[in-house]
Structure 1
Amino acid sequence: MPGKVADLLRTADLEPAERAAPDQGVTVRRGQGYTLRVSATPAVHRTLLARCQPLDGAQGAPAVPAQRKARREYENRVSTLTGDTP
């Protein structure tokens, strides 16, 4: 999970199972940012992805291109994990 997605989820109101995934993840530095390696079921990843919708500029908030890209990358990774097509 990209760091920008993880940062948003840390501030979100999550269920205990959803909260445990990012809290137990392993941080890997990548260039300017970081990636959070998270072990969770595909259902938890899909739920976390749904909680990331504000990164796309939803609810009248301006969209930041780096945040949109981070969410899109996470969506692609979850789709690959679950066998869905993006």
Structure 2
Amino acid sequence: MRAAYLEGRSIAALARDHGVSRGAIRTAVADLLPDHTAIKEDSPVPELPVTLDMPGKVADYLRTTELEPAERAALDQGMTVRRGQGYTLRVTTVPAVHRGLLARCQPLDGAQGLPAVPAQRKARREYENRVSALTP
């Protein structure tokens, strides 16, 4: 079987010839596939980017603060969507960056002696609800 595979026979053809599944053929010729790498079970799964709508009041605040390069890039690449009087920023990035942005907008709740503006508090809560829905 291995010799036939090395001669160029396809995995599907070998499976038909021997009456077994393609997975069985792949297992039999696994050491002949240098490009095929096994997935380690303990390796972390990479986070995929997700798109969340960030209220404009939160985006305006975050643009005036010190951000990490990944956070700044996510804000800069966001797409503005007009919503009535204000706007929403559609941000696509990995959940870790969304959580970092949420942590940086905590002062909108009126912490650290700053006055709390109800509209900003509500906007931060809306973004918090969207970010918290990401966690499994």
Which of 95, 99, 107 is 1:54 aligned to?
107
| CA deviation after TM superposition for structure 1 residue 18, in Å | 0.8
Q: Which runs of 5+ in 1 are unaligned?
A: none
CA deviations 1:24-58 (Å, max 9, x no partner) are 00000111110000001000000000000110001
Higher helix share goes to which structure?
1
What TM-score do the two structures reach when normalised by structure 1? 0.93
Aligned length: 83
Residue equivalent to 2:88:
35
Q: Percent identity?
A: 86
CA distance in 2, matches of 1:48, 1:42: 10
Q: Where does structure 1 differ by over 2 angstroms across 4 or more consecutive aligned residues?
A: none
Q: Which runs of 5+ in 2 are unaligned?
A: 1-53
- Which has the higher Rg, Structure 1 or Structure 2? 2
Residue equivalent to 2:56:
3
* Bigger RCO (CA 8 Å, 6+ sep): 1
Q: Secondary structure at the match of 2:92?
A: coil
| CA deviation after TM superposition for structure 1 residue 64, in Å | 0.4
CA distance in 2, matches of 1:22, 1:16: 10
What TM-score do the two structures reach when normalised by structure 2? 0.60
Q: Secondary structure at the match of 1:37?
A: strand
